[in-house]
């Protein structure tokens, strides 16, 4: 009883004396509210497209075009979501995509694929992506190199290796069975869209229905607390970057099937598009929070915006400026609705730790 009636610590007093959040802040700081905001933003862009180019924009064929354009960046963005939720960053996904596309289209690989099965091309591209991701993960987790610098080095190295292997040329894919498989329509929908949908569903299940996803969020929220709770933080970080490499490899296969060629110029600046989609989708750059659903909406917002600009014959420069403004607004909203809540929670936790001692500290971290 004496512990229950104990005087509140200063931190607890500060936490309890803070004004309650406004109803608007409470709604939009939750997962449902954030997704609602993304839906409204997407609908606003669609409305602009309908008003400015109704005949060309508002039809099923153009909707498929938007989804097809979003599919490759979307797949990369799913892997990027996991990395950013954990508090990391991966600048190398575009270069890894280029390297995987070049290796998958090498003459030796194509000869093996023709003599056996076209699936060999896919396996090789995925293996290259996972291998590059594992290198990133080992350097970051065990080498204790900052994720920004490690993945920047991979960006330069992977694209340089792709140039060497391709001899600065475009390698044409001649396996007709592979190309036929990657250009098929299922129920009238492009195979690339189906791949994006499957990767998105798989990413959602991995993040929300497995211990892997829960550990990812825990590491992003508080790395030290996750370690004290028994999570193998270094090993988990390594696999997160392997997952990001895997999605880059999948995107490389998709691009190979669509362009019929592998080149070191594939995936240029894709990492920036993926990061932008993830951030606009509501994933915190500081880690600890994010959703696959939000990332999908972020990808669709940028793909629809690009389509509206194309339909209205507007310059790519204006499109880039608009994207930049959207990203800045998204980051400002993150700071307004999310960072404040995180600070309040940490302040409250510190008050509990001071009042409860070591045992309470362990329980809170778990």
155 Ramachandran zone, left/alpha/beta (phi>0; psi -120 to 50): alpha
Rounded Cα distance between 44 and 329, Å, is: 15
Residue 154: per-residue pLDDT: 97
**Average pLDDT estimate for 216-222:** 94
Residue 37: per-residue pLDDT: 82
Q: What is the pLDDT of residues 122-132, one digit of tens each?
A: 999 999 999 99
Contact 124, 104 (CB under 8 A): yes
Mean pLDDT is highest, among 57-71, 146-160, 275-289, for 146-160
**Average pLDDT estimate for 80-86:** 96
Residues 6+ apart with CB under 8 A from 80: 90, 93, 244, 247, 271, 274, 275, 277, 278, 295
**Beta-bridge partner residues of 346:** none
Smallest CA-to-CA distance from 259 within 126, 104, 64, 93 is with 104
Residue 206: per-residue pLDDT: 96
**Average pLDDT estimate for 284-302:** 92
Rounded Cα distance between 286 and 283, Å, is: 9
**Average pLDDT estimate for 67-86:** 96
- Other C-beta atoms lying within 10 Å of the C-beta of residue 210: 11
Contact 65, 323 (CB under 8 A): no
Contact 334, 285 (CB under 8 A): yes
**Average pLDDT estimate for 293-315:** 90
Structure tokens at 189: 């929908």
Out of 22-31, 62-71, 113-122, 233-242, pick the least confident. Answer: 22-31
How do beta strands 261-262 and 185-186 pair?
A: unpaired
**Beta-bridge partner residues of 185:** 190
> Higher-confidence residue: 120 or 28?
120
Out of 71-85, 168-182, 346-360, pick the least confident. Answer: 346-360
Question: What is the reported pTM?
Answer: 0.84
Q: What is the pLDDT of residues 240-267, one digit of tens each?
A: 999 999 999 999 999 999 999 999 999 9
Using the Cα atoms of residue 53, residue 58, residue 62 and residue 67 in order, give the sign of their dihedral. positive
Structure tokens at 58: 């508002």
Q: Is the pLDDT of residue 87 over 50?
A: yes
CA 48 to chain centre: 27
Chain mean pLDDT for the chain? 84
Confidence of residue 2 (pLDDT cuts 50, 70, 90): very low
Q: Is the pLDDT of residue 10 over 50?
A: no
Q: Is the pLDDT of residue 357 over 70?
A: no
Confidence of residue 80 (pLDDT cuts 50, 70, 90): very high
Rounded Cα distance between 148 and 92, Å, is: 9
- Other C-beta atoms lying within 10 Å of the C-beta of residue 6: 11
What 3-state class would DSSP assign to 175? Answer: coil
- Other C-beta atoms lying within 10 Å of the C-beta of residue 226: 22
Smallest CA-to-CA distance from 77 within 325, 272, 322 is with 272
Residue 342: per-residue pLDDT: 54
Enumerate domains of the chain plus CATH numbers.
10-354 (1.10.3470)
Q: What is the pLDDT of residues 309-325, one digit of tens each?
A: 888 888 778 888 888 88
Residue 358: per-residue pLDDT: 41
Q: Give the count of alpha carbons within 13 A of 243, CB side only.
A: 25
311-325: b (≥16 Cβ within 10 Å) or e: beeeeeeebeebbee
Residue 327: per-residue pLDDT: 83
Smallest CA-to-CA distance from 279 within 38, 72, 48 is with 38
């Amino acid at each position: 009883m004496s512990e229950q009636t104990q005087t509140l610590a200063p931190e607890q007093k500060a936490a309890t004396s803070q004004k309650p959040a406004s109803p608007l802040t409470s709604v939009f700081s939750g997962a449902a509210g954030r997704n609602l905001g993304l839906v409204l933003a997407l609908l606003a862009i669609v409305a602009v497209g309908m008003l400015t180019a109704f005949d060309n924009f508002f039809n099923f064929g153009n909707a498929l075009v938007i989804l097809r354009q979003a599919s490759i960046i979307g797949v990369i963005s799913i892997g990027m979501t996991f990395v950013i939720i954990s508090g990391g960053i991966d600048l190398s996904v575009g270069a890894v995509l280029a390297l995987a596309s070049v290796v998958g289209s090498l003459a030796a690989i194509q000869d093996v694929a023709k003599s056996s099965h076209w699936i060999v091309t896919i396996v090789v591209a995925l293996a290259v992506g996972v291998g590059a991701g594992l290198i990133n993960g080992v350097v970051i987790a065990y080498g204790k190199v900052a994720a920004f610098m490690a993945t920047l080095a991979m960006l330069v190295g992977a694209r340089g290796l792709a140039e060497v292997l391709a001899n600065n040329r475009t390698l044409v894919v001649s396996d007709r069975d592979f190309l036929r498989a990657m250009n098929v329509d299922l129920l009238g929908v492009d195979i690339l869209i189906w791949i994006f949908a499957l990767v998105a569903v798989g990413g959602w299940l991995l993040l929300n229905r497995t211990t892997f996803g829960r550990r990812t969020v825990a590491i992003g929220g508080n790395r030290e607390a996750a370690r004290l709770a028994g999570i193998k933080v270094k090993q988990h970080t390594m696999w997160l970057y392997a997952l990001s490499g895997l999605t880059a490899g999948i995107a490389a296969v998709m691009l190979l099937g669509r362009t019929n060629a592998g080149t070191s110029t594939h995936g240029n600046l894709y990492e920036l598009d993926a990061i932008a989609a993830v951030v606009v989708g509501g994933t915190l750059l500081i880690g600890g929070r994010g959703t696959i659903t939000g990332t999908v909406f972020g990808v669709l917002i940028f793909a629809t915006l690009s389509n509206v600009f194309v339909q209205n014959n507007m310059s790519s420069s204006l499109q880039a400026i608009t994207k930049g403004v959207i990203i800045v607004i998204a980051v400002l909203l993150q700071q307004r609705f999310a960072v404040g809540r995180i600070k309040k929670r940490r302040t409250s936790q510190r008050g509990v730790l001071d009042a409860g001692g070591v045992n309470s500290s362990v329980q809170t971290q778990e």
